Amino acid sequence: MVAIANHQVLPSATLKEIRSCVGDLLTKCNIQYTVTSFDSAFVDACIQDAQRRGCPLAPIETQPEVLKRSSCAASSWESGPEWALDAHQLPSIRPKVIEGACIAATAYKHVTDERIKVYIALYTAVLIYLEDYMQDDASIQLIAEFTTRFAKRQPQVHPVLSAFADILRDAHDLFAPVAANLIVTSGLSFVTAVWLEHGMDKLQLNPDSLTVPEYARRLSGSAEAYAVFIFAQDTSPADYVQALPDIVTVINYTKYVTRY
């Protein structure tokens, strides 16, 4: 038996079936395995961008202890625009930036504009950070307030949320208007998904609500953003808009299957 993220244990037969499904998918995709060298200079550029945006970056050796301190202090958080969390007391985004940089350097290695690759890395790093480090009740409350603050141009309380607001606004400086709009709405949908999914394990699901998992995947996959990242900045959306629905479907389902 194998434990998964939510601490459930998978029977060996189920694990074998999952491995078979993943293997079958990869075989049918016929994707050739290639090795991409680790680009430390690119990772450094991504970390510098995260630092410029005010993200917490101090090396933290005991992440769980920091998370515990943050959660305990969270009971007294005030969400007023005049108050903000101290980035030095929060989990570092550094490991998530490295993950984002690896995704940008491999999945989008055809992208020649370094600014866009750094953007993809930081966009990805924030999504992973929210999923991994901001799941306590107080953090979820800040996530729930994100879109309201974003729409009203009010300061975000958490430095990573503040950075994400800047990242979304910067989309219009790097991408065509339609592509930028898709990136922004995709990011906002992801934030909403994190909020909605919090505590869903306690929700009594209606057995007739068969499409709920697929809907949740569409919200949380941010697939529209990762789809438009594929195309060059000067590519007209008219040249790829008819392919977007299929690309989004592939991204969502492939990410969902291979996450096991």
Average of per-residue pLDDT across 151-163: 95
Could you give the dihedral angle defined by the CA atoms of residues 173, 93, 150 and 183, in that order, rounded to the nearest 10 degrees? 40
CA-to-CA distance for 250 and 196, rounded, in angstroms? 23
Q: What is the CATH number of domain 34-258?
A: 1.10.600.10
Entry pTM: 0.81
| φ, ψ for residue 3, nearest 5 deg | -85, 145
Average of per-residue pLDDT across 34-52: 92
Q: What percent of the chain has pLDDT over 90?
A: 50
Q: In this predicted structure, what is the pLDDT of residue 259?
A: 64
Average of per-residue pLDDT across 110-124: 96
CA-to-CA distance for 114 and 105, rounded, in angstroms? 10
More confident residue, 68 or 202: 202
Q: In this predicted structure, what is the pLDDT of residue 85?
A: 60
Q: What is the DSSP letter of 152?
A: T
pLDDT at 221 over 90: no
